[in-house]
């Protein structure tokens, strides 16, 4: 296969190659390391989980520069390409331009922007969320593409028409407009328990541009069916945060109840494991090189 020379090229390769790719959610430096350790080829920097890990709601309560700070830790912690959930782009075309420039500076390989309005609401909350005007959103896409400082930066346009109950025709019309405006890929989102509308969309779309999906709600659909439907990339959107919440709750409850560490010690990661994950061996080696001998 082709060897990607930058993280920008690596993400572009994952999204454009003919076989199915996977992006795994991370929300901070250590989760980014764990995604890489598990063997994934790319990271989804989820808006939901970055917000939640900061104790905030997925409603643009974290500012875009606060998100950028988290991304910087994630990019430093891992060599993988990162596709960041850019929500609505944090405003109009002008906010998208500045966000994309800053992402490129920090080596963030791509951004996904959704056709809603700032401040956004998570797709799984409420019904009939207002959508952006199509031409206005195309302006955001064009401005983003015109501002990338690396030729391989990826801009994904996310279609929320199915989520907001506007139907298949509206979803296709929007995806086509965003594709024409220069989006590198389309993310079609659905909150149904069945993937039927995703398969229908994929059939009509017929690979005009790479298609990305987020099967959080239709999780029971076998992955091979997505492969057969010609999906480009699957995003596992929030499962590291969700698993850590479960684990942290169990540990906190046990310690609180027992007033002892005995029950949890055998099941939590060791302190040595933490040292390994954050690379203490490298620091020891550097100390031998740079510190005067004792």
CB of 284 to ligand SPV, least distance (A): 37
Total residues in contact with Mg ion, by rule CB under 5 A: 3
Residue with tokens 């952006």: 132
- Mutual angle of helices 239-258 and 29-37, in 10-degree steps: 110
The nearest distance, CB 163 to Mg ion, in angstroms, is 11
CB 240, min distance to Mg ion, A: 15
Q: Which of 14, 85, 152, 184 contacts Mg ion by CB under 5 A? A: 85
- The 3 state secondary structure assigned to 254-285 is HHHHHCCCHHHHCCCCCHHHHHHHCCHHHHHH
Q: Does 110 bind Mg ion (CB under 5 A)?
A: no
Nearer to Mg ion, 57 or 98 (CB): 57
> Minimal CA–CA distance to 48: which of 216, 180, 190, 172?
216
Give the range of 2-10, 47-55, 132-140, 169-177 binding Mg ion by CB under 5 A.
47-55
Q: In this complex, which beta carbon is closest to ligand SPV, that of residue 9 or of residue 240? A: 240
Active site residue 85: no
HSE of 202, CA atoms in CB hemisphere, 13 A? 21
Q: At closest approach, how far in Å is the CB of 84 from Mg ion?
A: 10
d(C-alpha 110, C-alpha 116), whole Å = 19
Number of chain positions touching ligand SPV (CB under 6 A): 10
CA distance 52 to 179: 31
Q: Is the dihedral of CA 258, 262, 266, 271 positive or negative?
A: positive
Residue 115 tokens, joined: 């056709």
Check residue 47 for interaction with Mg ion (CB under 5 A): yes
Query: What gap in Å lies between CA 137 and CA 133, rounded to an integer?
Result: 6
Which one of 28, 58, 115, 184 is the catalytic residue?
A: 58
Q: How far apart are CA 241 and CA 192, in angstroms?
A: 22
Query: Based on CB atoms, which residue is closest to ligand SPV, 9 or 231?
Result: 231
Q: Does 160 bind Mg ion (CB under 5 A)?
A: no
Binding site for ligand SPV (CB under 6 A): 46-48, 85, 122-123, 214, 216, 237-238
Which positions lie near Mg ion, rule CB under 5 A?
A: 47-48, 85
């Amino acid at each position: 296969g082709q060897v990607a020379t930058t993280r920008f090229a690596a993400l572009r390769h994952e999204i454009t190659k003919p076989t199915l790719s996977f992006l795994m959610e991370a929300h901070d430096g250590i989760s980014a390391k764990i995604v890489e350790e598990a063997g994934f080829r790319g990271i989804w920097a989820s808006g939901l989980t970055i917000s939640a890990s900061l104790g905030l709601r997925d409603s643009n309560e974290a500012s875009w520069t606060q998100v950028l700070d988290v991304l910087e830790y994630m990019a430093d912690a891992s060599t993988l390409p990162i596709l960041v959930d850019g929500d609505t782009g944090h405003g109009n075309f002008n906010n998208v331009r500045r966000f994309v420039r800053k992402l490129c500076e920090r080596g963030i390989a791509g951004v996904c922007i959704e056709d809603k309005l700032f401040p956004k609401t998570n797709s799984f909350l409420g019904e009939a969320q207002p959508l952006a005007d199509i031409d206005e959103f195309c302006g955001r896409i064009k401005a983003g593409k015109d501002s990338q400082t690396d030729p391989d930066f990826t801009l994904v346009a996310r279609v929320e028409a199915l989520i907001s109950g506007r139907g298949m025709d509206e979803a296709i019309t929007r995806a086509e407009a965003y594709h024409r405006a220069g989006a590198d890929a389309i993310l079609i989102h659905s909150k149904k328990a069945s993937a039927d509308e995703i398969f229908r969309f994929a059939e009509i779309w017929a690979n005009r541009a790479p298609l990305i999906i987020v099967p959080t709600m239709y999780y029971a659909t076998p992955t091979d069916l997505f492969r057969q439907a010609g999906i480009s990339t699957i995003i596992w959107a929030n499962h590291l945060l969700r698993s850590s919440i479960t684990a942290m709750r169990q540990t906190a409850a046990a310690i609180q109840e027992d007033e002892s560490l005995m029950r949890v010690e055998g099941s939590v990661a060791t302190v040595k494991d933490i040292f390994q994950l954050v690379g203490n061996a490298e620091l020891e080696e550097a100390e031998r090189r740079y510190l005067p001998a004792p």
